[in-house]
Amino acid sequence: MFLNVNLIQGPTVEPVSLDLLKRQCNVDASMTDDDQLIAAYGIAAREYAEKYTRRAFLSQQWKITLDHFPAAMYSGTINPALRRDWCYYSGIWQGMTIALPKPKCISVDSITYLDLTGTQQTLDPSTYRVDVNSTPARIVPAPGLYWPLNTLYVPGSVAVTFTAGSYTVDVFPAAICQAIMLLTSHWYQNRESASVINLMEIPFGVKALLDMYKVTVLDYESMV
């Protein structure tokens, strides 16, 4: 099943202030000529860091679209890796799980789908459960229920809109801030796409700082 991930509403604030970015770039606070440029570099650095770590840093809204609701058929056998949970038939329920990228999930805002008449329907939130504490966050039908069966198989017909954000501005990892500042100052000092200088990444540089927060448990890492 194809999975498409789209940004609906980006964060309204940035984790690193313009003043701090200017100091990293050795630009005097009273000089404002390059403020817009430095701020743009800061946003690009944050976007790079989010893409690299596969996270959403600050509160933002995303939407994933699926071709259909996930379904699992029980064959009467249990995967050896799941036998410790045999009494819960975890193989069935894991197969019905919708996993959300861009941790950490704050809330699921809506789940919509196309019914057999092609009409868009919105699922009642009481019909599903969301585990926002896991990575990735997981959505499953409420106990005793299943995903809707009266649906059309249409690419992108199921849409999950959710709000994600791993941190707040007040509680934000210093290592990620440092990586954003390093990238911003590098781009500010090197404004071309190529250089005759043999540039080398410094030890404990951007990727080393971001690796501490990189999410590696998603099945569809390369797609998000």
Task: Note the pLDDT tens digit of each residue in 41-95.
Answer: 999 999 999 999 999 999 999 999 999 898 765 555 556 665 566 555 555 666 7
* This prediction's pTM: 0.83
**Could you tell me the residue range of the domain that residue 155 belongs to?**
60-164
Indicate the SS3 state at residue 208: helix
Which single residue is written with the structure tokens 């999950």? 160
Q: Could you tell me if 82 and 124 lie in one domain?
A: yes
Task: Note the pLDDT tens digit of each residue in 191-214.
Answer: 877 776 777 777 678 999 999 999
Q: Are 106 and 132 in contact (CB under 8 A)?
A: yes
Q: Could you tell me if 160 and 172 lie in one domain?
A: no
Whether 90 maps to a domain, the answer reads: yes
Q: Could you tell me if 175 and 134 lie in one domain?
A: no
Whether 121 maps to a domain, the answer reads: yes
Alpha-carbon distance of 75 to 2, in angstroms, equals 24
Which single residue is written with the structure tokens 């709000």? 163
Strand 60-66 with 3-9, pairing: antiparallel
Q: Could you tell me if 160 and 73 lie in one domain?
A: yes
Question: What is the count of structural domains for the chain?
Answer: 2
For residues 1-28, average pLDDT: 91
Which single residue is written with the structure tokens 């990727």? 207
Task: Note the pLDDT tens digit of each residue in 89-116.
Answer: 555 666 788 999 999 999 999 999 999 9
Q: Which of 128, 145, 164 delimits the end of a domain? A: 164
The CATH number of the domain holding residue 29 is 1.10.3230.30
Q: Could you tell me if 79 and 175 lie in one domain?
A: no
Residue 175 has pLDDT above 90, yes or no: yes
Residue 220 confidence (pLDDT):
45
Residue 145 confidence (pLDDT):
87
Q: Could you tell me if 137 and 82 lie in one domain?
A: yes
Q: Could you tell me if 65 and 48 lie in one domain?
A: no
Q: Could you tell me if 68 and 138 lie in one domain?
A: yes
Q: Could you tell me if 71 and 99 lie in one domain?
A: yes
Q: Could you tell me if 114 and 207 lie in one domain?
A: no
Residue 1 confidence (pLDDT):
47
Whether 204 maps to a domain, the answer reads: yes
Alpha-carbon distance of 111 to 139, in angstroms, equals 10
For residues 142-166, average pLDDT: 90
Whether 223 maps to a domain, the answer reads: no
Return the bridge partners of 111, or none: 160
Q: Are 169 and 16 in contact (CB under 8 A)?
A: no
